A and B are shown apart, each in its own frame.
Chain A
Amino acid sequence: DIQMTQSPSAMSASVGDRVTITCRASQGISNYLAWFQQKPGKVPKRLIYAASSLQSGVPSRFSGSGSGTEFTLTISSLQPEDFATYYCLQHNSYPFTFGPGTKVDIK
């Protein structure tokens, strides 16, 4: 099975900061990676698919990159509504696996 790790597990950041979250796969997954945002009590929301394709309606401050085993989600200028937990998901092979999550809170 493919294991997904995320770093950091949590971070404190300020409005306007550039934020980078890393997701690593235990083996190559090509670009079969998606990123999700989840706020407390809410349904997860897809931000990025195919590692770097921006979901329609998602602000352009969000971007994704990577291929193979290392991927990043970048928020170019953190906004108040971006404080949330972020998860990656590999769907290259079964069983699909989510990363453990990165909680971004206010500094």
Chain B
Amino acid sequence: EVQLVQSGAEVKKPGESLKISCKGSGYSFTSYWIGWVRQMPGKGLEWMGIIYPGDSDTRYSPSFQGQVTISADKSISTAYLQWSSLKASDTAMYYCARHKTMDPYDYWGQGTLVTVSS
């Protein structure tokens, strides 16, 4: 069974760093892209970026380039989304999802709620 399991909810202060994770199982982790999607409270879905764990090829939305870092460790089938200095405006639910060109965003993680507040 394909599963993407994300790390738990986080409460952080502005300026702190954070790395959240997305662990894939039940499929060949290196054969699919993993994308990250942000959903701010009461808002729509925003495409942040995507990584191919097979060779770490990474693409970002211009809106998120330089604001976050996407990485992956294929040895443990896990993708990451990290911030070096959080802002209150980073408060959101973050989803990871599996992607292939002819099979886009078919499986999603359960989401990680990040709350940034002083």
| A83 at the B interface (CB under 8 A) | no
A95 to B62, CA, bound (A): 8
**Number of A-B residue pairs with CB-CB distance less than 8 Å in the complex they form:** 63
- On chain B, the number of residues with a Cβ less than 8 Å from chain A's Cβ atoms is 26
A98 to B35, CA, bound (A): 13
Question: Would you list which residues of chain A between 25 and 54 have a CB under 8 Å from chain B?
Answer: 32, 34, 36, 38, 43-46, 49-50
Q: Determine, out of B15-23, B70-78, B83-91, B97-105, the stretch whose residues face the partner at the interface.
A: B97-105
Provide the residues of chain A in CB contact with B47, threshold 8 Å. 89, 95-98
Question: Would you list which residues of chain A between 55 and 74 have a CB under 8 Å from chain B?
Answer: 55
A76 to B101, CA, bound (A): 28
Of the A-B pairs whose beta carbons lie under 8 Å apart in the complex, a sample of 9, sorted by A's number, is A36-B105, A43-B108, A43-B109, A43-B110, A50-B102, A89-B47, A91-B105, A94-B59, A95-B47
